[in-house]
Amino acid sequence: MCSLDNKVVIITGATSGIGRGCAEAFATAGATVVATGRREVQGNKTVDLIEKNGGSANFLRHDVTNQQDWTNVVSQTLEMHGKIDVLVNNAGDSVIKPLEQLDGATMKFLIEVNLDGPFLGIKAVWSCMKEAGGGVILNTNSVAGQKGTAVGSAYNASKGAQGALTKVAAIEGAPFNIRVNSIHPGFILTEGMKETLQKNPNTLQSMIRSMVPTGETGRPAHIGHAMVYLASDAARYITGVECNVDGGISAA
Amino acid sequence: MGRVENKVALVTGGAGGIGSAIVKLLVQKGATVVIADTDHNKGHALAAEVGKQALYLPLDVTEENQWLRTLETVLLKFGQLNVLVNNAGFLEPSELDETSVALWQKTLAVNATSVFLGCKYGVESMKKTGGAIVNMASTAVPRPGTTFLAYSAAKAAVVSLTKTVALDCAHNNYGIRCNVVLPGAVDTDMLRNNKEPDQSDEDFIGSVIARYPMGRIGQPEDIAEAVLFLVSDDSAFMTGAELRVDGGSTI
């Protein structure tokens, strides 16, 4: 992996799944990780796992839809670590339901978490990254943000919107050396995915089999490694891109 | 970044601007690299500069029997091939009314047919051990403009080929991933050869970067790092993917 020695990275939704995988990858690469999320027990477990592996991390309680929480996370990170080099807007949620069963409240909820959350995050770190001469923002998107699928309209819509936000942020950030990219995971086997598989076994299993050319789900570490590369100096010329980590779904 | 310790890699156009950066970085990260090119002087010089982890083999990427011969030599000498970088390319700008059939065919041959041959025989060579293929396309694919008619079309073919090869390898469980890099303007001879005779270097580069939000053109090392990422285990769940390395010029 690339080196992120001495970098300070905030990762939202780092209490489990992809967020935890990314937090671990960033810590292994040498970064100081500020793991955030709503669940303190899970968040502290992420920190434990990182510290047991010789890495450096702390947990901050954080609801990404809450403006004040963002202000607190940024100011506490600056107080503890002096800077913010990378923000990973990873926190997100999904609801898999056909249009007929989907209600307005669910749409509103998903837009809030998956779009408003990253929007508030970008705004929260923007001025300190500008002052510092640059930074990197990585948004966890999804293949669902790029292509239509049979179910998940509200989720897909929220991720598609997040993708558009990423692109504008990349253009506006470029003169200040703030790079903004989105990562598009395919099916990643997390605790959340396992739960969804149990609740909707036929739907999800058949989706995986029919959509993923390699026939396999990915691991959170796969996303983590891609994020580490994109956050590093090795990717200094990469901004505004969609990086698919999906076992070939987007090619099929 | 990522490690390619003990891997054997073949880089076509390995003696060129981007190619030599790829060769050097892969060697630095532990690979043995075959530099395949038609510029024998540059190829030998690069191999000498890099040292014993690099070898130059002449290869005209448009010739099927040369691919067969080169891959056979690689397998005989090193026992395996794990990484193939189809980087060789050719660019002669021309608009619709200026593009002769000969130029069209040459551009397609060096940029696209070469990648087809490389993938076809590269996969044959790699399917027992698994591996990674990276093809070189260009931001001319999403933004063809009018000046690079044949080049843009050929690079679009490379993107399509990449995805088909990725799917084919996945369905057949070869353990071979195939991805494509789309560089924007990179500071190489190939780019600078497009300068008008009476234009200064500064003006030329200035005219290029006008479209680049990051305000600069790329360096060969930027492309090399993307290739390294895509051939290493750091991208183990990526196949059939496009990675743009273009300073934001195609957002």
Span B141-154, pLDDT tens digits: 999 999 999 999 99
Span B22-71, pLDDT tens digits: 999 999 999 999 999 999 999 999 999 999 999 999 999 999 999 999 99
The verdict on a CB contact (< 8 Å) between B245 and A218 is no
Could you read off the pLDDT tens digit of each residue along chain B, which spans 251 residues? Answer: 458 999 999 999 999 999 999 999 999 999 999 999 999 999 999 999 999 999 999 999 999 999 999 999 999 999 999 999 999 999 999 999 999 999 999 999 999 999 999 999 999 999 989 999 999 999 999 999 999 999 999 999 999 999 999 999 999 999 999 999 999 999 998 888 888 888 898 888 888 888 899 999 999 999 999 999 999 999 999 999 999 999 999 99
CA dihedral A113, A118, A124, A128 (to 10 degrees): 160
Span A79-122, pLDDT tens digits: 999 999 999 999 999 888 889 999 999 999 999 999 999 999 99
Q: What 8-state DSSP symbol labels residue B112?
A: I
The verdict on a CB contact (< 8 Å) between A186 and B242 is no
pLDDT value at residue B191: 86
Return the SS3 of A239: coil
Q: Which residues of B touch A215 (CB under 8 A)?
A: 170
The verdict on a CB contact (< 8 Å) between A213 and B243 is no
Q: How confident is the model at residue A151 (pLDDT cuts 50, 70, 90)?
A: confident
Of B244, B129, B234, nearest to A219 (Cα)?
B234
CA distances from A15 to A8, A32, A68, A191, B249 (A): 18, 16, 20, 11, 35
Angle at A154 between CA A152 and CA A156, to 5 degrees: 65
Active site (annotated) includes residue A229 = no
The backbone torsions φ and ψ at residue A124, rounded to the nearest 5 degrees and listed phi first, read -65, -35
Of A243, A195, A185, nearest to A219 (Cα)?
A185
> Which residue from A minimizes the CA distance to B178?
A248
Of A226, A153, A232, nearest to A184 (Cα)?
A226
Q: How confident is the model at residue A195 (pLDDT cuts 50, 70, 90)?
A: confident
Full-model pTM: 0.96
Return the SS3 of B94: strand
**Nearest-neighbour CA in chain A from B176: distance (Å):** 10
Q: Sign of the C-alpha dihedral, residues B222, B227, B228, B234?
A: positive
- The pair of structure tokens assigned to A99 is 């249009």
pLDDT value at residue B196: 87
- The active-site residue, picked from A85, A155, A182, A227, is A155
Q: Which residues of B touch A1 (CB under 8 A)?
A: 1-2, 234
Element housing B134 (H / E): strand B131-136
In this complex, the residue of B167, B225, B237 whose CB is nearest that of residue A235 is B225
Of A151, A222, A137, nearest to A186 (Cα)?
A222
Instruction: Give me the interface pTM, i.e. the ipTM.
Output: 0.95
DSSP alpha helix (H) spans, chain A = 17-28, 40-52, 67-81, 104-111, 117-131, 153-173, 191-199, 201-211, 220-231
Cα(A240)–Cα(A237) distance, integer angstroms? 10
Q: Which residues of B touch A237 (CB under 8 A)?
A: 184, 214, 218-219, 222, 245-247
Q: Answer for the pair B11, B23: CB distance below 8 angstroms, yes or no.
A: yes
The backbone torsions φ and ψ at residue B77, rounded to the nearest 5 degrees and listed phi first, read -75, -40
pLDDT value at residue B182: 98
Q: CB of A170 within 8 Å of any CB in chain B?
A: yes
The backbone torsions φ and ψ at residue B2, rounded to the nearest 5 degrees and listed phi first, read 155, 165
**Nearest-neighbour CA in chain B from A25: distance (Å):** 11
Q: CB of A139 within 8 Å of any CB in chain B?
A: no
A137: β partners? A87, A180
Return the SS3 of B243: strand
**Nearest-neighbour CA in chain B from A1: distance (Å):** 5
The verdict on a CB contact (< 8 Å) between A246 and B237 is yes
The verdict on a CB contact (< 8 Å) between A234 and B170 is no
Q: CB of A238 within 8 Å of any CB in chain B?
A: yes
Angle of helix A104-111 relative to helix A153-173, nearest 10 degrees, comes to 30
Residue predicted with more confidence, B72 or A198: B72
pLDDT value at residue A173: 98
Q: Answer for the pair B73, B64: CB distance below 8 angstroms, yes or no.
A: no
